Amino acid sequence: MNDHRLFCSGSLWGLNSFDQWGVELGKRHAGAVETGLASGRTEGLDAATAGLVRRLR
C-alpha cells in the first residue's frame, strides 16, 4: 500500500521515488527528522517539517 502511495505521489510531482538518489536523499532527511524528534532540535529542517517535529515532540 505504501509503495503505491509513494509511486502515485512521485508521479504527480514528476519525481522517480525509487531512484537511488531519491532513496539516499530520503535517508538523509529521515535522519534529520529522527534527530529532531529525539532531541527537539530543528536546525536545518524546513519550516513545515520543524513545525511537525515540534508538534509531535
Q: Using N-to-C axis directions, what is the helix angle for 47-56 and 20-39, rounded to 10°?
A: 50
Note whether 53 and 42 are within 8 A (CB).
yes
Please determine, for residue 1, whether its predicted confidence score (pLDDT) is greater than 80.
no
pLDDT for the residue 18: 79
Domain locations in the chain?
19-57
pLDDT for the residue 34: 92
Q: Is the pTM of this model over 0.85?
A: no
**Percent composition of the chain: helix, strand, coil (DSSP 3-state, to 5):** 75, 0, 25
pLDDT for the residue 39: 93
pLDDT for the residue 16: 81
| Tens digit of each residue's pLDDT (9 = 90 or more) over 5-53 | 888 888 888 888 778 887 888 888 888 899 999 998 898 888 999 999 9
Note whether 35 and 41 are within 8 A (CB).
yes
